[in-house]
Amino acid sequence: KINGPRLWDALMAMAEIGATPKGGVKRLTLTEVDKAGRQRFTQWCEELGLTMRVDAMGNMFARREGRDPQRLPVLLGSHLDSQPTGGKFDGALGVIAGLEVMRSLHDLNITTEAPIELVNWTDEEGSRFGHSLMGSGVWAGIFGLEEAYGFTDLDGVNVSQALDSIGYKGPHPAAPFPADAYFELHIEQGPILEQEGKPIGIVTGAQAQVWYDAVITGQDAHAGTTPPSARRDALVAAARVIALVDEMMRARGEAGRGTVGQLQVLPNSRNVVPGEVRFSVEFRHPDDAELARLMAEFPQAAEAAVAGSGCRLEVTKLFDMPAQPFDPACVDLVRQAAARLGYPAREITSGAAHDAVYVARRVPTAMIFTPCKDGLSHNEAESILPEEAEAGCQVLFEAVVARANR
Amino acid sequence: KINGPRLWDALMAMAEIGATPKGGVKRLTLTEVDKAGRQRFTQWCEELGLTMRVDAMGNMFARREGRDPQRLPVLLGSHLDSQPTGGKFDGALGVIAGLEVMRSLHDLNITTEAPIELVNWTDEEGSRFGHSLMGSGVWAGIFGLEEAYGFTDLDGVNVSQALDSIGYKGPHPAAPFPADAYFELHIEQGPILEQEGKPIGIVTGAQAQVWYDAVITGQDAHAGTTPPSARRDALVAAARVIALVDEMMRARGEAGRGTVGQLQVLPNSRNVVPGEVRFSVEFRHPDDAELARLMAEFPQAAEAAVAGSGCRLEVTKLFDMPAQPFDPACVDLVRQAAARLGYPAREITSGAAHDAVYVARRVPTAMIFTPCKDGLSHNEAESILPEEAEAGCQVLFEAVVARANR
Ligand SMILES: NC(=O)NCCC(=O)O
Ligand SMILES: NC(=O)NCCC(=O)O
């Protein structure tokens, strides 16, 4: 029912905005490139006669009216921001497939019972301001608006300034409004569907995770004159914590996740013993109890790891989120849609967080996964096939329309 | 004989150029700030009637004529560039004390037999372009001019472009000209003179060192979806090499030096398993044979350290320099000057490299050290006392004049 080639064309058109030489995308949240993506999205929505609202976090809602003015809207969407060296599909697939759902409804002259709203959430990736799912998090009341406005990037620019600079601090409150359901299509970003040859993942929930900031303070000193006994080398101390995070992950077997993804050395000069290192730490696990153990263990184990280095360690928890199960009725609509369309499908837990995780605390929610090549994501080589995008979009269409017409 | 308060005032005036909030200096080589320092230096030299030459590497030579036109010049000087978070005295002391020598000769109406030339060498620190003693190195023929022009900083700007951008690619050849001697005053940058209460260090030579660039390549991957077995985490691998460098240093006892000072993570995003890490490695030792063992050991040991990480390691040697003894006759002039002036002094080997190390390959050379607080350098808190600067400058004056009049 949906138009596969049109969907693919729109995906490729969006991928031009922030395209990188290696075939990926750099569309960091609240930058000029993000603004360009938002403007193209707005134009496409307005061509369909949808009404665009922007809230105080820059979240964008494109509304298509239903027949029954009493009915709550069915939401669908994802995010248009990317990693610094991201792929074409992480996030964009969910938004552009949502657009294709709207276009198909338009082509087919379908008026659903409930209104439908297509959402582009602000800053899902979290790579710029240190909080993933930021826009959906404020919308769902996980962070306060003023708190989120104060999050800063590595250059000291805060979210409020960044929203103003691209003109996307909208007039609508960034707060949950009543909605009937939320559906999000996303690439799996892992290898399971591809390995099992299943075009559709019926996502039953997402795993738990915690993010930290760590700062190790030693002392800048001359690399040539400072003897081993007098060194307080913050990078040598940080190396022990990096090894610890990896060990703590591996101690949990294949289900464990532990990553230091961002790290900054000061003063970062070849012949200076580093006086300060700032870095991120995150852990994830499908089981809340295991994440709780990781959280109990990490600060103390990190303290023990740097002991004797002469350096001081400061660990700040940025946030943690428990494992989030999705709404059984919504999940069932996905399962039924895949079955009706004859797509092989399997239930799956998400290793990544998604806006759906926070939205699920307010609105009955489900997600659909499609495979990606070699399970690779957060990588410019991220790749999917047109028929995989089409299958995912078709399931999304069916689930959304079924819910809106129930 | 020299004017201590005037020396101190000039040191403080130079320290204003690139002053940092924490009381240090950021006067990175070939930046606008470096240009401002060079211009102030030129103005001071011209006020004294000195003739300024600039060579193709931006090295600056301010000449005071002697009585005998047949005599080769006696050189003195150091560098005005600093570390990104450097101190007020590393380098500047030697240049500004040289200026004070010139001013005192002027006040005292002394004409020396030989001409005297005060030098400001370009890029001693090496923190921007990866090669310490760069200007003196080209002058001494250690690097070729075109080779040095091609060295790039982290933003991809090369030395040739940087020289042009501040207008300091001078008309004179960057090549050794015949000179009678070179004297350099510098802070010790280590704790020995302060601990022993000796205001003067008679520097007999400098230790050996080697600098490397290392690149570890793994694979960018999603931190939430990528299981331990599928990770190729370049930062986890780099942490092992950082630990190795520290271990190799400590295995040499208090004489060993091993430092990773600069490190860059790509893509440097919290929820991305790092796909690439680039970092510097350096080792130093007073004994050439021990440095040779470090150089033989490191590339293989680093390869072994990353084995099993799924990452590829590439190590490139940037340069190495053997231990450099200074000229006995010049060193003796320093010894005699300290004795004549009644300053307690001791012989000392330099842990840092200095322009004197490369100049010594072409011209009889000696250095004078003065103490610095807590041995701290390459740190904004670097600190010396006015009377320490004065004593060093007085010894410099005596040694230079003795040589120029011999
Ligand atoms: N979808 C996705 O990659 N989200 C980023 C948030 C996370 O780190 O899981
Ligand atoms: N004097 C000084 O700190 N020089 C920097 C070159 C080195 O690394 O030794």
Note the pLDDT tens digit of each residue in B255-298.
999 999 999 999 999 999 999 999 999 999 999 999 999 999 99
A209 touching chain B per CB within 8 A: yes
> From the CA of A87, how far away is ligand 1's center (Å)?
12
From the list B11, B99, B89, the residue with the least C-alpha distance to B60 is B99
H/E stretch holding A187: strand A181-187
Chain A and chain B share a number of CB contacts under 8 A equal to 255
| Closest CA–CA distance from residue A232 to any residue of chain B (Å) | 12
| Closest CA–CA distance from residue B388 to any residue of chain A (Å) | 19
Ligand 1 contact, A218 CB (< 6 A): no
- A320 neighbors A239 (Cβ within 8 angstroms): no
β-strand pairing of A221-222 with A272-273? antiparallel
pLDDT at position B394:
98
DSSP string, A7-25: HHHHHHHHHTTTB-TTS-B
Is the peptide bond prior to A267 cis by the omega test (within 30 degrees of 0)? yes
CA distance B177 to B175: 6
| Closest CA–CA distance from residue A158 to any residue of chain B (Å) | 17
Provide the mean pLDDT of chain A.
Answer: 97
B272 touching chain A per CB within 8 A: yes
CA distance A11 to A23: 13
B189 touching chain A per CB within 8 A: yes
Provide the mean pLDDT of chain B.
Answer: 97
**Does the pLDDT value for residue B46 go beyond 90?**
yes
CA distance A214 to A312: 10
pLDDT at position A358:
98
Place of tokens 């370009």: B122
Helices and strands of chain A, counted as H and E runs: 12, 16
Single-letter amino acid, residue B118: L
Ligand 1 contact, A126 CB (< 6 A): yes
pLDDT at position B69:
86
- A66 neighbors A113 (Cβ within 8 angstroms): yes
pLDDT at position A69:
86
Structure tokens at A78: 């994802």
- A22 neighbors A381 (Cβ within 8 angstroms): yes
A:318-377 residues touching chain B, CB 8 A cutoff: 350-353, 375-377
- B257 neighbors B311 (Cβ within 8 angstroms): no
CA distance B28 to A352: 42
Note the pLDDT tens digit of each residue in B78-136.
999 999 999 999 999 999 999 999 999 999 999 999 999 999 999 999 999 999 999 99
pLDDT at position A103:
98
Phi-psi region of A312 (alpha: psi -120 to 50; beta: other; left: phi over 0): beta
CB-based burial, A324-340: b 16+ in 10 Å, e otherwise: bebbeebbebbbebbee
**Does the pLDDT value for residue B17 go beyond 90?**
yes
B243 touching chain A per CB within 8 A: yes
Mutation choice for ligand 1 from A29, A93, A124, CB with most ligand atoms inside 8 A: A124
Burial label for A295, CB within 10 Å (0-12, 13-18, 19+), is middle
> From the CA of A338, how far away is ligand 1's center (Å)?
24
Mutation choice for ligand 1 from A125, A136, A262, A324, CB with most ligand atoms inside 8 A: A125
Single-letter amino acid, residue A79: H
Give residue ranges with CB within 6 A of ligand 2.
Answer: A 222, 224, 271; B 90, 124-126, 132, 189, 352-354
B188 touching chain A per CB within 8 A: yes
Which residues of chain A does B84 touch, with a Cβ-Cβ cutoff of 8 Å? 267-269
First to last CA, chain A: 19
Q: From atom 2 of ligand 2, which residue's Cα is the shortest distance away?
A: B352
pTM, rounded to two decimals? 0.94
Please, what's the largest Cα pairwise distance for chain B?
Answer: 78
To the nearest 10°, report the CA torsion of A329, A333, A338, A340. Answer: 120
Q: Which of B85, B195, B222 to mutate to test the interface with A (most CBs of A within 10 A)?
A: B222
pLDDT at position B316:
98
Which residue of chain A is at minimal alpha-carbon distance from B243? A236
CA distance B101 to B255: 35
From the list A279, A327, A283, the residue with the least C-alpha distance to A306 is A279
Which residues does chain A have with pLDDT short of 70? none
Cβ contact A223–B272 (<8 Å): no
In this complex, the residue of B225, B256, B259 whose CB is nearest that of residue A190 is: B225
**Residue A49 DSSP class:** T
CA distance B168 to B163: 5
pLDDT at position A324:
98
**Contact residues for A162 (Cβ-Cβ < 8 A; gap 6+):** A29, A30, A31, A128, A129, A153
Over range B322-342, report the average pLDDT. 98
To the nearest 10°, report the CA torsion of B149, B152, B155, B160. Answer: 0
**Contact residues for B5 (Cβ-Cβ < 8 A; gap 6+):** B386
Single-letter amino acid, residue A221: A
Single-letter amino acid, residue B342: G
Structure tokens at B336: 């005699």
Ligand 2 atom closest to the CA of B352, numbered from 1: 9
